Amino acid sequence: MNILLLAEHRQNRLAAHFPRLLTAARQIGGPITVLVAGEACLEVAYAAAQFSGVTELLLAEHASQKEGVAENLCALLLRLAPEFTHFIAPATPFGRHILPRLAASLQATTLTEIIGVIDATTFIRPIHAGNAHCTLRLRPAFTAHPLCLTVRPTSFAPTPTQTQPAPIQKIDGKAESDLSRWIDQAPRQEERPHLNSAQVVIAGGGGMEKAGNFDLITEAAHRLGAAVGATRTAVDAGLAASTQQIGQTGQIIAPKIYIAAGISGAIQHLAGIKDAKTIFAINNDPHAPIHTIADFSLTADLFTALPEILQELDRLQKE
Ligand code: FAD
């Protein structure tokens, strides 16, 4: 058994979920090699090598890996592939883009959205929009193939750092594919924390009714230092961006506090907030399903309740 863990990074910073992903790899067992691919990303490699359980770090630096183009990264992974039995990537847009491509090229067995590891061939993943967990054990015929896994980092505790960092080995990162070419990117100026890493998230749903009303959520997020999320209904109505959608077909989040305003609590939405520690809901319908799963729920008109809550927060801050 030999594991290759693909490290996600952005703007020369290791993704915050890395220590959680590493825990999943450690639970599988066997040596863990971490691949950091990019251009001028030695700092990322140093950061990843600090964590307990990393046996070795491969640093693949080349201009062709700068933007994380999936075809180029996959070509690099294919060169390394013969040495490994397990390939692990986060269940994020980055990992979901690369792992299936690698799995198809390797004719590997693939399991996605892993939330639990029993052993090297037995894994837990959610099914039915997260309403049930399925334990899958690979048959011997499948274990003869490499295994590609995308892992939900929020389901695992973070691995601590180690006193002796893992050795870093530089390898040739050049791997170019003529299938696609990076042209440009226009990064948005982020004023607020990311949905995936925010401690507090406030989200609006169909109850927001029209675009201008969503400003109330944005205002509340601003005051609370929270990230802004939305339901599919709010996204479909043009009240929020699709990147803000939380749920089965959106982002999976794990904040300490989740505030749901004007959200019914459909199972597809709940699939995205299962790991939220404390859920606070405001909904004017006492029978809305969100009330049954919320830790604190308020049956009230959000347009009255939310401004009152913000006023009270202001008052408490001034005291
Ligand atoms: P609604 O169901 O319209 O609920 C609005 C709520 O606001 C109601 O409960 C109402 O009582 C309350 N309300 C109205 N006015 C006020 C007010 N003034 N004050 C307080 N409360 C008020 N949905 C997602 O969110 N994420 C997904 O990823 C997702 N994926 C899906 C995938 C599939 C395959 C399918 C079929 C559906 C998916 N959906 C998803 C849609 C999901 O089924 C629901 O339709 C959606 O989550 C409902 O959003 P909502 O609760 O905002 O809207």
pLDDT of 146-163, one tens digit each? 999 999 998 999 999 988
Query: Rounded to the nearest whole angstrom, what is the distance from the C-alpha of residue 116 to the centroid of ligand 1?
Result: 29
Report how far residue 268's alpha carbon sits from residue 273's, in angstroms, rounded to the nearest whole number: 10
pLDDT in tens, 208-217: 988 889 999 9
Mark the ranges of the chain whose per-residue pLDDT is less than 50: none
Q: Name the residue at shortest CA distance from atom 16 of ligand 1.
A: 207
DSSP letters of 218-243? HHHHHHHTPEEEE-HHHHHTTSS-GG
Q: In this structure, are residues 129 and 140 in contact, taking their beta carbons and an 8 Å threshold?
A: no
Q: In this predicted structure, what is the pLDDT of residue 269? A: 96
Q: Pick the residue whose CA is nearest to atom 15 on ligand 1.
A: 207
Task: Measure Cα distances from 214 to 123, 163, 217, 240 in Å.
Answer: 40, 48, 5, 8
Does residue 62 sit in helix, strand or coil?
Answer: coil
CA–centroid distance, 204 to ligand 1, in Å, is: 9
- The answer to whether 85 touches 32, Cβ cutoff 8 Å, is no
Distance 234 CA to ligand 1 centre (A): 8
Q: So what's the pLDDT on residue 190?
A: 64
Q: What's the pLDDT score for residue 318?
A: 75
Q: Which residues surround ligand 1 with Cβ inside 6 Å?
A: 205-207, 231-234, 245-250, 262-264, 266, 268-269, 272, 282-285, 288, 301-303
- E-assigned strand segments in 140-272: 147-151, 168-172, 200-204, 227-230, 257-261
Q: Cα-Cα-Cα-Cα dihedral of 250, 228, 189, 14, to 10°?
A: -60
pLDDT for 145 equals 85
pLDDT on residue 189: 65
Q: Residue whose CA is closest, atom 35 of ligand 1? A: 268
Question: pTM (2 decimals)?
Answer: 0.72
Round to whole Å and give the CA distance between 49 and 249: 33
Task: Pick the residue whose CA is nearest to atom 2 on ligand 1.
Answer: 264
Q: Which residue has the CA at smallest separation from atom 18 of ligand 1?
A: 301
Predicted pLDDT at 21: 97
pLDDT of res. 104: 95
Ligand 1 atom index nearest CA of 247: 28
CA distance 310 to 263: 19
